[in-house]
Amino acid sequence: MASIEDILELETLEKDIFRGSVHPSVLERTFGGQVAGQSLVSAARTVGEEFRVHSLHGYFLRPGNPSAPTVYLVDRIRDGRSFCTRQVTGIQDGNAIFTMSASFHTVDAGIEHQDTMPPVPEPEDLVDTQTIEKLAATELYQEWKDWDVRIVPADSTRRIPGITAQQRVWMRYREPLPDDPVFHVCTLAYMSDMTLLGASKVPHRGVVTQTASLDHAMWFLRPFRADEWLLYDQTSPSAGFGRALTQGRMFDRNGSMVAAVVQEGLTRIQRDPSKYGVETGNLA
């Protein structure tokens, strides 16, 4: 599989127009995190160095073809002194497959607080999913070989009363990454689509579903590195009518809350699982 550096390397075609290259993939559809990460790279290239991305809101409109390049058109919606906004559209074969708004902000002084990171085992004490034969053989985990993903067992973490679906995962990129903070933010946009929809499957083990990301929102709260361990604390407060709502908080090992994510995904009951090869279990 391609490295994250190669995935996030875009070609500039014209002012505010970029193209992502094609990389080998075992997936039938382009991984949503890839499109989100490349879109954010495109937006970040059009703002000054004094601006840092603080949020993105994206919609997955059509399945992407992993064998075809995606072209990203950036619209400069607003350029202010403290904030600027970009609208990005990802296009394949003349059709929009993804649209995203990204907001950038200069550093300001203000009030500060955050949630406490939940108590969980250290990642070194957990099993690398690439050593679990059943998981490593799935298409997604073949695609994610460069990512160290470690699931916190349910009996090794404290459940929150009233939370129906909960999942906690340690993850990081396996190899050292460049020091550029913007690169780590775009890498996290890719990572954030990994495993999150699986939180909705925790109460429904064995139920076969057709799954896909529908929309995705992120807020980047504090500095971090994507090649260092991050705890992804995931819940799914509701599922119904073929869709599931999921949300996640990301913490570094020091307990700093570095990002927050909300995603709605398709979780349609699949009558013919062999047609789609869709996973079961608690990960998506």
Active site residues: 193, 213, 263
Query: Which distant-in-sequence residues (6+ apart) come within 8 Å of 83 by Cβ?
Result: 103, 104, 105, 106
Task: Please give the Cα distance from 51 to 66 (Å, whole number).
Answer: 31
Place of tokens 């047609």: 275
Its sign, for the CA torsion 79, 80, 82, 85, is: negative
Closest CA to 95 of 74, 119, 116, 73: 73
Task: Please give the Cα distance from 1 to 174 (Å, whole number).
Answer: 13
For residue 278, what are its two tokens?
Answer: 């869709």
Task: Please give the Cα distance from 211 to 284 (Å, whole number).
Answer: 8
For residue 52, what are its two tokens?
Answer: 């840092």
Query: Which distant-in-sequence residues (6+ apart) come within 8 Å of 12 by Cβ?
Result: 18, 45
DSSP secondary structure, 145-188, as one string? TTEEEEEPPGGGSPPPTT-SSEEEEEEEESS---S-HHHHHHHH
For residue 13, what are its two tokens?
Answer: 């075609």
**For residue 148, what are the β-bridge partners?**
172
Query: E strands of 189-229, at which residues?
Result: 209-220
